[in-house]
Amino acid sequence: MRIPNFINKRRLKDERYSFLFEKDESDEIVAFDTETTGLNPKTDELLSIGAVKIRGNKILTSERLELVIKTESKISPESIKVHQLRHIDVAKGIERQEALEQFLDFIGSRPLVNYFIEFDAAMINKYLKPWLGITLPNKQIEVSAMYYDYKAKQIRSQMFFDGDFDINLSFSSIRKNLELPERELHNPFYDALTAALAYVKLKQLK
């Protein structure tokens, strides 16, 4: 459940971060993704953040964020297989506080986009609440929702269809359907990039 922003803002403990609530003038959007020690935002921890800005139909990979966070907690072997961040890799990372500051500076008040963004937002909020008293105030755009709308519209218009239909909303199915390039590595930056591509394409297809 998201907290309305006027309440959220009142809770802000550190005035330096009031820019998060300012009106966004950049005309940009940020695609971001996180890797964690597991799938439960309550108990698991943030391992890395990847983010990239989108301006119009361009994905500004030249302005991107790739952060690996130092952590001592145990990473599940399953997660290691997915993101390939081993204990030895995260040991070389930066402090979590430092990473979060960089991340907030990067996103500003821009809208955020990702696939299953709720999870990533929850992961960030887990740390924002104790630190700044707030949750991410940015507008959040769900790629799979955009994809669903696009597909549903397509099906309805093409076949005079008014019954039920089933749309596969898995990330790989979306990627294949939109004919996006294969991700070579699974890390938050590439996932953010794929989400960005999906966003840009869906935006144009509408």
Partner 1 sequence: MPDSFSFKNPPFDRLNEQERQNLTKSLDIAYYTTDEILINAGESPENLYLIIKGEVKELNGDEIVDFYTSQDTFDAISLIKGKSKNSFVVQEELICYLIPKKLFIELTTKNKSFGQFFSESLAEKQEHQLSIADTQKLASFMVARIGDAYLHSQSIVEPETTIRDASIYMRDKKITSLLVKKAGKVGFVSGINIRDAVVISGKSTDTLVADIAVFDHVTIDVDDFLFDAQVLMTKHHIRSIPVMENGEITGVLELTDLLSYISDHSHLVALKIDRAEDIKGLEEASKSITPMIFTLHSRGTKIQHLTELVTDLNRKIFKRLFEFIAPPEMVKNSCLIVMGSEGRREQVLKTDQDNALILRDDSFYEKEVRRVCEAFTKALLDFGYPPCKGNMMVSNPEWSKSQKEYKTAIKEWILKPDGKTHVKLAAFVDSQPVAGDFSIFEDTRSYLLSKIVSNDSFFSHFTKPIITFDTPLGIFKQLQVEKGLHSGRLDIKTGGIFPIVHGVRALALENGLLIGSSNTFDRIDALVEKDIIEKAFAKNLKEAFQFLLNLKLTALLGKSMSGESVDRFVQTHTLSKLERDLLKESLHIVREFKSILVYHFKLSLFSP
Q: How far is the CB of 66 from partner 1 (least distance, A)?
A: 9
Q: How far is the CB of 102 from partner 1 (least distance, A)?
A: 17
Note the Cα 17 to chain centre separation in Å: 20
Does residue 58 belong to the site contacting partner 1 (CB under 8 A)? yes
Q: Given candidates 12, 60, 155, 169, which one binds partner 1 under the rule CB under 8 A?
A: 60
Is-contact 120 107, C-beta < 8 A?
no
- Say how far apart CA 68 and CA 194 lie, in whole Å: 19
Closest among 7, 82, 15, 9 to 44, alpha carbons compared: 82
Note the Cα 120 to chain centre separation in Å: 6
With tokens 């909303």, the residue in question is 169
Nearer to partner 1, 70 or 201 (CB): 201
Q: Given candidates 151, 167, 180, 186, which one binds partner 1 under the rule CB under 8 A?
A: 180
Size of the site for partner 1 (CB under 8 A): 22
Nearer to partner 1, 84 or 97 (CB): 84
Helix (H, G, I), strand (E, B) or coil at 187: coil
Q: How far is the CB of 45 from partner 1 (least distance, A)?
A: 24
Does residue 26 belong to the site contacting partner 1 (CB under 8 A)? no
Q: Mask 181-200, x = binds partner 1 (CB under 8 A)?
A: x-xxx---xx--x--xx--x
Bridge-based pairing state of the strands 58-68 and 46-55: antiparallel
